[in-house]
Amino acid sequence: MTAKTLDGKKIASEIKAELLAEIQSLSAAGIRPGLAVILVGNNPASEIYVRGKVKSCEELGIYSEKLTPSATSSTDQLLELVHKLNQRDDIDGILVQTPLPPHVDSKKVLMAVDASKDVDGFHPLNVGFLSTQRPGLVSCTPAGIMEILKRSNIPVYGQEAVVVGRSDIVGKPTAMLLINANATVTVCHSKTRDLPGVCRRADILVAAIGRAGMVTRDFVKPGATVIDVGMNNVTDRAEFEKFFKGNSQREQVFASKGSTLMGDVHPEVAQVAGAITPVPGGVGPLTIAMLMANTVRAAKLRRGSSVPELAGERV
């Protein structure tokens, strides 16, 4: 048995097509959603992520603004920038690209973003809305995971779900969304006893640990759905051989780049699982699609009754 591949690129394209229709309806009502991205300094990985976000805005007709304060910017200077964006009516979403330079108080800067413009879904107010099932902005990766499950017709209601990882950005909000969808949820972490045994109970297993290939076939119940959130860069030849020996496609990538991207799930899991997200091309594309969805949602929530009736509200 080989697991069915859950194609994140395809699902992200579907969501973007729906968003395009929503944005056109908003445009007809004189509303253009706007996203501001703050990119501090010159972090090459962050620059790639931001480029992808700006490109998606352009494709959909969302107004985007990239602000690039220098790496020497102080916490107070960044707080002032966030405050100005909070006041602007043409900006519906504010995204502070992390990591910020070490001398900056990251939590203070992220907390300064107005909750109604917090398209990352990190603000405690939005976390509270999620936990009490009120309308708000949900963290992009967890929201994307739920879209993958829904659009792949994978039942969540009454299922046993295990989330490996308890981060505020992925693990905890994913667990909350699964609970809200009536799954029975266990959250695991580094202190969990018999981690493979707990994971084997899962009908839906979400791996968000940040360790390449940690989830092996011993963790997976036959036929389970496995969502791999990990994004790990494998650069060591011995480690590469452990995971991808005999995979000619991966061999070509590794030979040309000296690295390959892989998730937290060992490739052997595909022989046991019923369905699995690939890395790359699984959860990753959904994260940007849901950022776009959150920007549109923020525009609608902020304007309330002035927004035309639109189908397909996402929570």
Instruction: Tell me whether strands 184-188 and 93-96 are parallel, antiparallel or unpaired.
Output: unpaired
Could you tell me if 254 and 289 are in contact, meaning their C-beta atoms sit under 8 angstroms apart?
no
CA 4 from centre of chain: 21
Helix-strand-coil split of the chain, %, nearest 5:
45, 15, 40
Check residue 153 and report its DSSP letter.
Answer: T
* CB atoms near residue 254 (< 10 Å): 18
Catalytic residue status for 53: yes
Tokens 């007809």 found at: 28
The one-letter code for the residue type at 259 is S
Please identify which of the residues 97, 117, 159, 264 carries the catalytic annotation.
97
d(CA 209, CA 231): 10
Q: In the annotation, is 97 catalytic?
A: yes
Residue 66 among the catalytic residues: no
Q: Which of 53, 117, 172, 221 is catalytic?
A: 53
Which is catalytic among the residues 16, 92, 118, 120? 120
As given in the structure block, the two tokens for residue 308 are 């035309």
Q: Which residues are catalytic?
A: 53, 97, 120
